Copies of this chain bind each other. A is one copy, B any other.
């Protein structure tokens, strides 16, 4: 079946803020949600049970990576992405667009598609909107994404305009070949930092009637206020009965700002990527566990955190693992960081239920001051 979004309530103080339900082939989940990234059909160092224990609902994988390895046919023969990775919650695949533009440079964009070199072996590859959808149809994720161009920041207005219109044509082409009754397809709103272009993109994308809408082209180096504007410009024109997904955003403050602007779904590699370098989220900002002051700190990262790491291990132990280059260090911090973001969305949902999202947001941001390496 297709995904269904059910709006449960808006926050009293701010009509943009939404509490909803996402009905999927793999269960019903409250939104807003944070979706951990499992690039190659696995969230780095974590197993499905650990994701579930973190409260994870949807897990995201990357079409570009799975296309190259192990290939969409292998995943398809395994019974699709869920069965392949043995995850019984919903899965989402991106379109491969972002990876092509960020990993496989230089790439050559034409109306037809994108020519680029594999980041693994340098061989020439060609990805088109149709091909991206066909791969995703075979991967059989619960949610597939349209193939779009994620333009760099800054780009000229002229480039953004032309790229956004091509993305609209690509969305149409992808939708036309889409062929999987158990999969939903999301459209992507582009248009950079220009309100009228975001409007045009949103309006035209919505006309094509996708199962959900995503905001693309953020988190590509633009200042935060511009990013927040991009979100506002787009969500303003999106229908209320479809889920809205802000791609590639996982900073706690950005999640709060996204929810403020009507976002339901977030994903980001941030919690696992920073974990491998010893960084972890706390209510008071990010800390780096490698800091010498944690050497004999036999308390958990966060006394109030309910994650596996905080319930079982001390800062001193995690620091030891990280400074010794042990994989388990990154694993323990990944668990903590993913749980932190999922718990943030749980608290956000609770605050919407109680009509105090604005208050919660302010409290969180005030406490989360030290966003650096403590």
Binding site for B on A (CB under 8 A): 40-42, 44-48, 65, 69-70, 74, 77-78, 84-86, 295-296, 298, 312-314, 316-317, 319-321, 323-324, 326-328, 331
Contact = CB atoms under 8 A, between A and B. Distances in A.
Nearest to A325: B40
B42 A78 contact: no
Nearest to A65: B324
B326 A42 contact: yes
15 contacts: A40-B324, A45-B327, A45-B328, A48-B312, A65-B324, A69-B324, A70-B316, A70-B324, A74-B316, A84-B314, A84-B316, A84-B317, A86-B313, A86-B317, A327-B331
Nearest to A317: B84
Contacts of A48: 312
Given A317-B84, A320-B69, A74 B44 contact: no
A326 B42 CA distance: 8
Contacts of A324: 40, 65, 69-70
A320 to B, nearest CB: 4
Q: Which 5 residue pairs are nearest across A and B when measured between Cβ atoms? A: A70-B320, A42-B328, A40-B324, A69-B324, A86-B312
Contacts of A77: 296, 298
Contact of A78 (B41, B85, B316, B326): B316
B317 A85 contact: yes
A40 B84 CA distance: 33
A174 B312 CA distance: 34
Contacts of A45: 45, 327-328, 331
Contacts of A295: 70, 74
Contact of A69 (B42, B70, B85, B323): B323
A321 B65 CA distance: 12
A313 B298 CA distance: 36
A296 B74 contact: yes
Nearest to A313: B86
Nearest to A77: B296
Q: Indicate the member of A65, A70, A295, A320 with the most B CB atoms within 10 Å.
A: A320
Contact of A328 (B44, B78, B312): B44
A48 B313 CA distance: 11
Contacts of A298: 77-78
B74 A327 contact: no
